[in-house]
Structure formats: structure tokens, C-alpha cells
Structure 1
Amino acid sequence: MMIFGPMLVALIPGIIIWTLTWWLSKKGFSRLIKVLPGTIAVISALILFYISIVYIRGFEGAAYGILSFFLILVAAISFMISKVSRVSDESI
């Protein structure tokens, strides 16, 4: 339960980040804008990990650390989604 709780909690912002990244890729925004949701997720995960180590500690801190690990995984998937190029319908 110690691992599944933070994983399920990370899925909520993860789905929002993945949907936003997919939508930005579909609209054809620049690479910088498409990478922005994943970058914000990495920054928030690093801040969450720092807080879990320095301020909280113990089992609760470990749960926050695991949550930050899953948020970094979500951000990595978001970066992969942003790299996929959109196929243009103009060539048909």
C-alpha cells in the first residue's frame, strides 16, 4: 500500500499533464510550449522530494519521495509525447 497510494495520487496530475501535452502537440505549438507541462512536473517533483527529505522525514517523507518519483516518470512520458510529431493531413 505504501507504493500504490502515491502511484495513484500521481496519476491524477499525470493524466492532466499527458492530456495537456497531447493537446499542445496536436495544435502544433513550438517545442518549448509542448515541453512546459513536463518541465513543471519535474520542478514540482524535485521540490516535493526536497521537502520530504528535509522537513517531513520518516514514513510520511518516504511516501512523498515515492510520489515525486512517480511524478518524474509522468514527466518523462510527457516528454516522449511531446517529441512525437503530428502527421499532417495536407499531404492527402
Structure 2
Amino acid sequence: MADDLRSRNAQTGLTPDELDALSLTADLAGRLALIVGEGRSRAHDLNELLVHVHAIQHAVMAQAAARIYPERFRLLGEEINHA
């Protein structure tokens, strides 16, 4: 499966599922902003939540790099191909 993804997407970037996942993280960030109150600690509390959203976004976007440079980076759930 990983080889199939690499061949189909080596030059095209993110897969439709990866793009959907990023959209979900953007929606989540917006909803979190609605949940956090308006008090003095809002900015800090929001930052504390959004750092985790950004970590998920980073992991998803790193998939494109793993497809383009499979000898250096690995797809999530896969191993680096040293061949």
C-alpha cells in the first residue's frame, strides 16, 4: 500500500484523505476558539490547545515529504526504505 501511495502521489502532494484530515484540524481549531472563554487567560489557554492541533497538522503534512524522499523519511505506520 505504501508503495502505491508513493507512486501515485510523489509529485502531487497530499492525498484526499490527508487533505480531509487537515480540514478537520482547521475545523477543530475554530471550534476550540469558540469553547475557550474571553478572559485574560484566553490567549494562553488557546495556545496550549492549538499547539497539539499544529502537531497533528505537521504529522499529516510530513506525509508528502515521506513520499517524495522515501529514503530519508517514513510514512506514518511504515518503515524507511533503505534500498
In the superposition, the TM-score normalised over structure 1's length comes to 0.47
Q: Which amino acid aligns with 2:31?
A: I
What whole-Å deviation, never above 9, does each CA across 1:7-41 have from its counterpart, x for those lacking one? xxxxxxxxxxxxxxxx43x1355226x62343223
2:44 maps to 1:66: no
2:29 maps to 1:46: no
* Structure 1 CA distance for aligned equivalents of residues 55 and 70 of structure 2: 25
* Structure 1 CA distance for aligned equivalents of residues 17 and 60 of structure 2: 8
Superposition CA RMSD, Å: 2.9
Q: CA deviation at 1:56?
A: 1.0
Are the equivalent residues in 2 in contact too, given 1:48–1:65 (CA < 8 A)?
no
2:67 to 82, 89, 92: 82
**Share of identical aligned residues, percent?**
5
Structure 2 unaligned blocks of 5 or more = 37-41, 72-83
Are the equivalent residues in 2 in contact too, given 1:49–1:68 (CA < 8 A)?
yes
Determine which structure has greater relative contact order: mean sequence separation of CA pairs < 8 Å that are 6+ residues apart, divided by chain length.
Answer: 1
Structure 1 unaligned blocks of 5 or more = 1-22, 87-92
Computing the radius of gyration from Cα coordinates, the structure with the larger value is 2
Q: Which amino acid aligns with 2:58?
A: L
What whole-Å deviation, never above 9, does each CA across 1:35-72 have from its counterpart, x for those lacking one? 2343223112111111111x21143x444322211111
More helix by share: 1
After TM superposition, the runs of 4+ consecutive aligned structure 1 residues lying more than 6 A away are none
Deviates more, 1:66-75 or 1:37-46: 37-46
